[in-house]
Structure 1
Amino acid sequence: MTPVLIAGAGIGGLTTALTLHARGFDALVLERANDLQPLGVGINLLPHAVRELTELGLGDALTAMAVAPSAIRFYTHRGELLFTEPRGLAAGDAHPQLSVHRGRLQMMLLDAVRVRLGADAVHTGSGVTDFRHSADGVVVDTAAGPVAGSALVGADGINSVVRAALHPGPDPLLSSGITMYRGASDITAFLDGHTMAIVKADNGVDLITYPIGGGQVNWVLQVPAGQPGPLHGDAKWNAPATVDDVLPHVADWKLDWLDMDALISQSPALFSYPMVDKDPLPHWGEGLVTLLGDAAHPMYPVGANGASQSIVDARVLADELTAHGVAGLRSYEQARRAETADVIAANREMHAAGASRAPADLARVTTRYRTETATSTRS
């Protein structure tokens, strides 16, 4: 059987390979990097994404490496509690929300792909450079040479080569005007060890922090850095930053439950990148080619939905290909395009609402976001 080709061995691409394999499809992942390492910092998986991974038989491994937050608490930078909202099981969801190191999750998915699909199911050093339709499928040009497949799924991230080929016109990255500093600190988890916290300063600086397992606490400091609008150049998620870049923004913070200096200075690596998204596309794919995850619907990383939506994409794509063959590429897009466009809009609203420090505003927006975007839409 000619494999479905998947561009990108990120969370979305690897989950797609596993889900297609579970439905009886052959899949081959084409990855640009020469070597995959557990890079990055923390992410959250919402209950609907945890359900999908659990149904792939990965629930125990995922739970063992993650932390299940039971609540998210909002504070001022002076330590005043503004609002508390339950999360995951504590909020009545059937599955937990899970906080996990992105790189460790990726390695777990990679190991599962190699065990289930074979050691050669992921080709590294094989970034997609171009593609074309053939008489019986697609031919994908990669850095290592051409590869034939029955279809191509572009899961190659926010700077997707596949997306650019499908949509060669203007498609700018849109900056929110926020620079995000990130790290994963080697400190003891704060409060009860199962709490996410968002700290809001009067000058518009926000901190999001939560434990991610492995003796680490993830943190993101969002700093106003300009006006919203098109971003010139790529959004590189791994640009290095320093402790001195970050500490001045929190110098006057007073939190009796968190040592800010230790949180930042005890992070083995710090990163900086702009908070960006893109406007939804009028359509995703053409012919035997489609998009998935950040390649299809990049969104602000404010609602724990980026990786989660890519995982749901993978399941819906497998459903539609199983039901309709290659015609399922279009029905997959029909099922997911409007839904993910709504999440992009909800993330923008969540970011805009973050300017408020009023508990009632925070409660209204965060509760609506959780109930509308963080739970499974299937029975």
Structure 2
Amino acid sequence: MPYLTTPQPRIIIAGAGIGGLTAALSLHAEGFTDIHVFEASAQLTTLGVGINVQPSAVLILRNLGLLPKLQDIGVETAELNFYSRHGHPILSEPRGAHAGYRVPQFSVHRGEFQMLLLDAAKERLGEDRIHLDHALTAYEQQDAEGTGGDSITARFTRRSDGSDAAIPSMTGAVLIAADGINSLARRLLYPHEGPPRFSGRILWRGCVERDSPYLTGASMVWAGHANQKFIAYPISGRSLRAGKSLVNWIAELRVRAEGDPDVTPPVTDWTKRVPKERFAGPFAEWACGGLKMAELIDSTENVFEFPMCDRDPVDRWSFGRLTLLGDAAHAMYPIGSNGATQAIIDAETLAKCLLDQAKSDRPNDIAAALKIYQETRLPPTAQIVMANRANGPDHVLQLAHERAPDGFANIYDVIPKEELESIGATYKAIAGFEKDAVNVKAEQTEKLAERFATKA
């Protein structure tokens, strides 16, 4: 593109998760070509559990030409159903295309989704631009408070053995730190912040294939209340097409008293299987939406443990030629099915800010572009972090539990219809996936995916 400088600015991305890879693809789509992605893991696999991608993010992926592949691996979510711990229905609402959005919502296996993004990045950027086993350890720039000088240098080591990486350092025009909730870049910027902030609740997660779908075959089930919750939804398009259902489930329990001043997370290893006896008992009698929670737990071979953590919002992400993205910038509780979505929105926003700057009369003022990105994305994501601490759209579960702990015959006797519906509508506005806004953008950008019609 003629408005990009020659040679092009070198863009360094630390982290090949959903945010980092989507940033690479978004930058490439805007005409940037000198992009390098560094990942601490020595190997990326399809390990992981399920996630949801909201229409606002699916639209971005559609415009990157990735919708057909996402449709192949994921499930186009049809509805979200909330139940009390007694199995009494609280609220059922259509989702994605079934709710009138011009693009779907997807439930998908996180590992398969990451591999989809990785394959696209290798194809479009070149395999030689993806550097595994390169953990970010330091960076240097001349003037972090101003422009950052003329460049920024990122330094790497091999995480597997702590030795020098094959590329021990790289100098570029910008460093995007998409290195997760335990971000090294964020730790250097905020050395006194400490570990992530523990909610007092732990998530136990697993996946199991059932011989048949439940409800619509594309339904999400949310049951319980703030301190004891069970979530289940199908995540495999391939299983669904075979008449089966690969169910991702989450059992959540409070393990530390509310108000405990100790917010240090317990030591866990999410890659190791844990015994079901740790959590299964309280869910033994739970059933709703055609699912018996004990059966799901019992039939799952591998269960993993995740402390539910986030981080306090900070006042600043961008420092000279460095900026944060995704969980490194705004780690949030997995409430509202929103973490991956916000990282994808970050990626698109950052790419557009860098492009606008490249087209301006100050194309080399990277710091200005990163500041605009920060001003655009930091306030809404900080709102989401705090909304999720207040249970976000899951607040309907807590209200029903507090007002009718022994159950109810009709939810509207407990929570008026207007109050019930307003909770979800308020959260959608905060999270940026109001239907009208998404649909207007979808119409305006309808032809963008054609750029990749022969490459997707």
Question: What TM-score bracket applies, with the shorter chain setting the length?
Answer: over 0.9
What secondary structure, in the 3-state scheme, does the structure 1 residue paired with 2:42 have?
coil
Answer yes or no: is 1:137 the counterpart of 2:145. no
**Structure 1 segments unaligned to the other structure (5+ residues):** none
Of 10, 13, 22, which residue of structure 1 is paired with 2:17? 10
The count of corresponding residues between Structure 1 and Structure 2 is 378
Distance 2:337 2:320 in 1: 32
Alpha-carbon distance change, 154 to 119 in structure 1, aligned in 2, over 3 angstroms = same
Does structure 1 residue 122 correspond to structure 2 residue 136? Answer: no
The 1:85–1:367 alpha-carbon spacing in structure 2 relative to 1, beyond 3 Å, is farther
Distance 1:309 1:345, change over 3 A: same
Instruction: Write out aligned runs for 1:1-379 (5 A).
Output: 1-25=8-32, 26-133=34-141, 136-143=150-157, 144=165, 145-187=168-210, 188-200=212-224, 204-213=227-236, 214-215=238-239, 216-228=246-258, 229=261, 230-232=263-265, 237-255=270-288, 257-325=290-358, 326=366, 327-350=368-391, 353=395, 354-357=397-400, 359=411, 360=415, 363-373=421-431, 375=433, 377=437, 379=441
Q: For the residues of structure 1 that align with 2:336 and 2:199, how far apart are their CA atoms?
A: 15
CA distance in 1, matches of 2:31, 2:269: 36
- Post-superposition offset of 1:248: 1.0
* 1:235–1:276 CA contact under 8 A, matched in 2: no
Q: Residue 372 of structure 2 aligns to a residue in which SS?
A: helix
Large movers: runs of 4+ above 4 Å = 232-237
TM-aligned CA deviation for residue 236 of structure 1? 5.4
Q: Distance in 2 between matches of 1:335 and 1:235?
A: 35
Using a 3 Å threshold, how does the CA distance of structure 1 residues 306 and 323 change in structure 2: closer, same or farther?
same
Alpha-carbon shift at residue 277 of structure 1 (Å): 1.0
Q: Counterparts of 1:88 and 1:316 in 2: how far apart (Å)? A: 22
Tell which structure's C-alpha radius of gyration is larger.
Answer: 2
User: Contact between 2:182 and 2:196, CA under 8 Å: does it hold in 1?
Assistant: no
Shift of 1:92: 2.1
CA RMSD of aligned residues (A): 2.1
Provide the C-alpha distance between the structure 1 equivalents of 2:131 and 2:43, rounded to a whole number of angstroms: 10
* CA distance in structure 2 between the aligned counterparts of 1:2 and 1:233, rounded to whole angstroms: 42
* Inter-CA distance 256–2: structure 2 relative to 1 (3 Å threshold): closer
What is the SS of the residue equivalent to 2:279? helix
2: distance between equivalents of 1:339 and 1:94? Answer: 23
Q: Deviation per CA, 1:185-234, whole angstroms, max 9, x where unpaired? A: 12233212111111116x94111110001431111111011135522567
Give me the identity figure in percent: 37
Instruction: Tell me whether 74-83 or 292-301 shows the greater mean CA deviation.
Output: 74-83
Gaps of 5+ in 2: 1-7, 143-148, 158-164, 240-245, 359-365, 404-410, 442-456
- Asked whether the 8 Å contact 1:350–1:365 carries over to 2, the reply is no
How far did residue 11 of structure 1 move?
Answer: 0.3
Contact 2:268 2:305 in 1 (8 A): no
